[in-house]
Amino acid sequence: MSGRAQLMWDEAVTRYDFGPDHPMDPVRLALTMRLVEAFGLDRELRVTSARAAGESTLRLVHRADYVDAVRRASADPASADGSYGLGTEDDPAFSGMHEASALIAGQSVGAAEAVWHGDVRHAVNFSGGLHHAMPGAAAGFCIYNDAALAIARLLELGAERVAYVDVDVHHGDGVQAAFWNDPRVLTVSLHEHPRTLFPQTGWPEETGGEGAEGSAVNVALPAGTTDDGWLRAFHAVVPEMLSAFRPQVLVTQHGADTHVEDPLAHLAVSLDAQRAVQAACHDLAHEHAEGRWIALGGGGYAVAEVVPRSWTHLVAIAAGRPIDPKAETPEDWRQEVYAKTRQLAPRRMTDGREPWWRDFEDGGYDPADRLDQAVLATRRAVFPAHGLLP
């Protein structure tokens, strides 16, 4: 297997654009790529583009009637009336929607193929991670579910065990739904509690369908969770689940909307904690999946302040050249941010935090702590199915 990493990028992914008043501003993708280039990371890994996902690939997850509906709405956005989730406030139709969505999906599928065939150990598609799209409907700013399509392609190529870890602030409901009855896929989602955030799913009791019991793992975090709780929850669930499941490939989704400054959610996580989880996912891929790691983007609506820095750290970790959090952001990039957004760019690659957490095993369980209650609820729901003690 090659030691090189691969970054999937095509400037045309920025055409995934719901309009000027929509939170999913494609400038976040362009600014991330410019920051990757400003740090010279594009010279540390292979930057390449894959073809847009074709009909047969899309149908690995999505129904034919839904793909047809996306094509129609893409050709005539005014015809979208809310059916199939298209033409809604969250997912307004736009011209070229099918092509842009299929291109993003193609990048994740291409990443999966490169990693499975051994061309590279790690592959990143930060334009992907569109985890809410369902087999027959758009949802939550997501048209085609590139994460699920990448996993489905891995299964088609012969993978027998694929683990998916989702640390977006929103529940990875579309990926869970796609593999609800498939014991070959372990889906783990850490997200804000469904009582307080879309899509109101991801309860710890959601553990997989018949014949796949224990294959869905959900950690529902209380609103206001900060770095120490977020990291405590991650390390209390994810490493043991991966050790028990023994994946051949690890697919991770790194939505940056857990950040304290994100306008659409209520967790209070720092950039530094996000970076710590990215590094942990890299290490877990080497520990449990022979280094096979596909890393995706996801949500994130602080489009200048947070998203580009978070995903540039992700690319740097995958490239084997992590960026010192204390490093200054390049001046040229800061000027680009101001030119595109009229916002002042952050000056450093850190929020000034030192990530730390109290280990769940060593630190003890506090029955009065809502974070500990959430962790224990998840462990009780799924650990016994894998022969683990809750």
Q: What amino acid positions are annotated as catalytic residues? A: 132
| Distance in angstroms (rounded) separating the CA atoms of residues 126 and 36 | 11
**Alpha carbon distance 52, 73 (integer Å):** 18
Q: 342: which 2 tokens?
A: 């009229």
Phi and psi dihedrals of 317, rounded to 5? -65, -45
Dist CA 39 CA 218 (whole Å): 36
Angle at which helix 97-116 crosses helix 146-156, to 10 degrees, equals 40
CA distance 279 to 298: 17
* Cβ 251 vs Cβ 114: under 8 Å: no
Starting at the earlier edge strand, list the strands of the sheet with 249-253: 46-48, 5-8, 122-125, 293-296, 249-253, 162-166, 185-192, 216-221
DSSP annotation of 91 reads S
- Report the SS3 class of residue 308: helix
Q: Tell me 76's DSSP state.
A: -
Quick one: how far is CA 240 from the chain centroid? Answer: 20
Q: Which residues pair with 65 in a beta bridge?
A: none
Burial group, residue 188, by CB count within 10 angstroms (0-12, 13-18, 19+): buried
